[in-house]
């Protein structure tokens, strides 16, 4: 899997920013954690984040084969969700978080061996406070 990490982009009004991963398509060599979005410094102002993970239909729907998402601030896990069921749809609900200024942000996809080829991605929208 080729991983291109998205970076932060300011919107034209200067009050919001975004980052998106694009669609990551896996193969048999996908690692347990797939980086989706990484922002090294969210800026000089605090932000409210809306993170929207998305996934294609699962290849395997057996127990504990659902993909998940993990959000880290400065390499500390602040949010994690991994579905026990490949068809569990709540994993695609938006995640709302507060992030302090000058914090590093990472959004990771938690993979399962049965769903290596399942495509996934994430969009992040930040509102400066």
What does the pLDDT look like over 70-106, one tens digit per residue?
999 999 999 998 877 666 655 578 999 999 999 999 9
Domain-located, residue 42: yes
Domain-located, residue 51: yes
Q: What pTM was computed for the model? A: 0.86
CATH number at residue 59: 2.60.120.680
Number of domains in the chain: 1
Domain-located, residue 60: yes
Domain-located, residue 5: no
Domain-located, residue 7: no
Domain span including residue 44:
22-128
Q: Identify the H or E element spanning 39.
A: strand 33-39
pLDDT of 20-60, one tens digit each? 988 887 777 778 888 999 998 898 899 999 999 988 877 77
Q: Give the end-to-end CA distance of the chain in Å, rounded to a whole number.
A: 36
Task: List the Cα angle 70/75/78 in 5-degree steps.
Answer: 45
Domain-located, residue 10: no
Domain-located, residue 6: no
Answer for the pair 128, 16: CB distance below 8 angstroms, yes or no. yes
Domain-located, residue 103: yes
How far from 31 is each of 51, 81, 109, CA to CA, in Å? 22, 18, 10
Rounded Cα distance between 18 and 39, Å, is: 10
Q: How many angstroms from the chain centroid is the CA of residue 18?
A: 13
């Amino acid at each position: 899997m080729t991983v291109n990490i998205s970076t932060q982009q300011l919107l034209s009004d200067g009050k919001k920013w975004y980052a998106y991963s694009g669609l990551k398509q896996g193969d048999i060599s996908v690692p347990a954690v797939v980086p989706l979005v990484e922002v090294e410094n969210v800026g000089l102002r605090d932000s409210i984040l809306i993170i929207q993970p998305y996934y294609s239909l699962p290849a395997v729907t057996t127990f504990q084969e659902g993909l998940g998402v993990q959000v880290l601030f400065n390499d500390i896990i602040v949010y994690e969700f991994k579905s026990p069921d490949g068809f569990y749809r709540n994993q695609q609900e938006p995640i709302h978080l507060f992030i302090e200024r000058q914090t590093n942000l990472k959004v990771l996809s938690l993979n399962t061996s049965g769903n290596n080829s399942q495509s996934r991605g994430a969009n992040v929208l930040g509102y400066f406070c």
